Structure 1
Amino acid sequence: MSYFGKNIRKIRSLKSLSQQAFAELFDLKRGTLGAYEEGRSEPKLETLIKIANYFSIPIDDLLTSELTVNNLLKFKGNLTIEQNIGEQEYFTKVPCITTLNLNDYVKYADKESFVQELPYLTLPINLDKKFRAFTVQNLEMSKNDLGMFPKDIVIGELTPLEVHSKLNNGTLVFIVTQDDIILRRLFISSGSIVLRADHKNVEDIVLTLKDIKEIWRVRYVFYHRIPETNFSLEEKLEQLEKDFDILKNNK
């Protein structure tokens, strides 16, 4: 198995290059580059040598091991950090599933060339893990004016299908099926996957593993508003005492 496709995709991400821009550097067609990245095709020796030389990466490393960002930054050449500008920090680019591209994502989730062209968020999270951002579409995960509402954004980390059973019951996930993307809490029961909303009036969805294309475990949530905070009675009394002291001192 060649790691060439994964490695050039990581190089593009590190250099903030689109597929088109990267392809033009080496006189390639964008479709050809997409085929490399998806593992559907391997490069000609001439192309391989050009890319390896351009980024000063040994050909063997480019082909036989999955390079991390730290590995890549150790190589000299066009991947090194600019001199005399201090240490640079690289954030993860997270492709974002929105209202407009949701249906297309359901169809083309397995096409890396499609995913690379999605709008993305840039976040200070683990560079070596795979994430997706999903825009909340409905009120299913809201409860008593709390929870998540449309336009909130959840960030999910990819959970391989073969290890889904290791997720704790109640884990918040969004799941890509053959027809839709569903944001709910996951429960495993008798070999079935039950997706449960926080809203009490929404019925469970029961799936089997063959119904699922991707599982993304929610790690972060970005609210479109400032969430309401429920204070305990003790905290409210404490705040009233502080307010009273302020009023008394101002007399």
Structure 2
Amino acid sequence: MFFSSNLRYLRRVHNLTQEALSNHLGVSLKKIGSYEEERATPKLEPLIEIANFFSVTLEQFINQDLSLESINKNTSELPELKKYAAAERLRVLSITQDRNENEYIELVRLDSEEDYIKGYSDIDFVAGLPKCQLPALPLNHTYRAFEISDSLLAAPTNSIVVGAFVADWNELKDNEPCIIVSENTGIVFRKIKNQIIQNDTLLLEDTNGQFSSYSVSVEDIEEIWRFAAYISLDFPQVPTQVNELRQTMQNLQSALEILEERKIKKKTR
């Protein structure tokens, strides 16, 4: 039985950590470790799910040493799209720094989106963008800020979304809000479903549920920035339901006070 060795082999071929695989499969990191170390074997249903995830048959997964086989592709090396998604193929990230070598956060305004998509790797172009620094963000990340319009519908109107650069796209978790930079789709802010292992795509979902989900091939994506923070230029409005609840509580309080006064008057008579 080759289940454990095949699981370990396929995970490494697809450039996944145990944690990344556990997120994709929806099982605990502890279980992945026990499967690979032959301390446990999943039941039939999850076994089939894992095999389907790696696009191999159950028979192949259990009874064949996949390290010696070629399953629908050359497994001796990652396909080019897998390399690109894992940042093993050259992807240029241009940054700017202050005199103390602290990185700036460059701002991509709505009117410069098209220019950014074409010049995101050009250090001179990036250096010309408006920039700032936000001390509250965690260190050891590269950040970029993007203005959000009505068409993106994933953050309050007239807000600026700050994203942390993602090098290895395989690490992205389902339902993570991300800024996707693509020549085909423009710059969009969506929750994603990671389908890179299955078919080299990301499924982009609208956080407000007003648009249909659609898939984007990794070869059409230039950059991905994981949501880190947002800055709203509008004062937040208290939701109507909260106002109604507050008014109801005030009415109840007033009614209780009136009842209490009536009780006191009856006692004094």
Give the TM-score normalised by the residue count of structure 1. 0.54
Q: Does 1:13 align with 2:97?
A: yes
Opposite residue 141 of structure 1, the aligned amino acid is: L
TM-score (norm. length: structure 2): 0.50
The corresponding residue for 2:235 is 226
Q: Where does residue 209 of structure 1 map in the other structure?
A: 218
**From 172, 187, 196, the counterpart of 2:193:** 187
From the CA coordinates, give the structure whose radius of gyration is larger.
2
Q: Which one-letter code corresponds to 2:106 in the other structure?
A: P
Displacement, 1:226?
Answer: 2.3
1:155 aligns with 2:162: yes
Q: What SS is found at the alignment partner of 1:101?
A: helix
Contact 2:179 2:224 in 1 (8 A): yes
Identity %: 19
TM-superposed CA distance for 1:117, in Å, is: 1.2
Tell me if structure 1 keeps the 8 A contact 2:117–2:183. yes
The residue type equivalent to 2:114 in the other structure is N
Query: 2:149 — aligned with what?
Result: 137
Distance in 1 separating the partners of 2:254 and 2:161: 40
- 1:123 alignment partner in structure 2: 134
* 1:105 equivalenced with 2:116 (yes/no): yes
Work out whether residues 139 and 148 of structure 1, in 8 Å CA contact, stay in contact via their aligned partners in 2. Answer: no
Residue type at the aligned position of 1:129: H
Cα distance change, pair 101–165 in 1 and its aligned pair in 2 (3 A)? same
Whether the 8 Å contact between 1:140 and 1:202 is mirrored in structure 2 is no
Decide whether aligned partners of structure 1 residues 166 and 127 sit closer, same or farther in structure 2, where only a CA change above 3 A counts: closer
Q: Deviations over 1:147-180 (max 9, x none)?
A: 422x2100000001xx222222111111111242
Aligned partners of 2:252 and 2:160: how far apart in 1? 36
When the two structures are aligned, how many residues end up with a matched partner? 159
Cα distance in structure 1, aligned partners of 2:132 and 2:139: 13
Gaps of 5+ in 2: 1-93, 259-269
Contact 2:105–2:131 (8 Å) recurs in 1: yes
235-244 vs 180-189, greater mean Cα deviation: 235-244
Q: Give structure 1 stretches of 5+ with no counterpart.
A: 1-8, 16-68, 73-89
The change in CA–CA distance for 1:134 and 1:242 in structure 2 (over 3 A counts) is farther
Whether the 8 Å contact between 2:152 and 2:188 is mirrored in structure 1 is: no
Q: Is 1:167 paired with 2:172?
A: yes
Check conservation: 1:152, 1:221, Cα contact below 8 A. Answer: yes
Distance 1:234 1:13 in 2: 49
Judge conservation of contact 2:174–2:194 (CA < 8 Å) in 1.
yes
Q: Which residue of 1 aligns with 2:40?
A: none
Can you list the C-alpha shifts for 1:107-161, whole angstroms capped at 9, x where unaligned?
Answer: 010112211110113211345321110000224425xxxx422x2100000001x
- Contact map agreement 1:140 1:198 (CA 8 A) in 2: no
| 2:116 aligned counterpart, secondary structure | helix
Q: Greater helix share, 1 or 2?
A: 2
Aligned-pair CA distance for 1:101? 1.2
* CA deviation string 1:37-70 (max 9, x = no partner): xxxxxxxxxxxxxxxxxxxxxxxxxxxxxxxx6x
Report the equivalent of 1:43.
none
User: What is the CA–CA distance in structure 1 between the aligned matches of 2:253 and 2:151, rounded to whole Å?
Assistant: 36
- Paired residue for 1:236? 246
Residue 96 of structure 1 pairs with residue 107 of structure 2: yes
The answer to whether the 8 Å contact 2:163/2:178 transfers is yes
Q: Following TM superposition, by how much is the alpha carbon of 1:237 offset from its aligned partner in structure 2, in angstroms?
A: 7.2
Is this contact kept in 2: 1:139–1:199, CA < 8 A? no
Change (3 A) 1:196 1:14: same
CA shift, 1:100, in A, is 1.8
- Whether the aligned pair in 1 keeps the contact of 2:98 and 2:104 (CA below 8 Å) is no
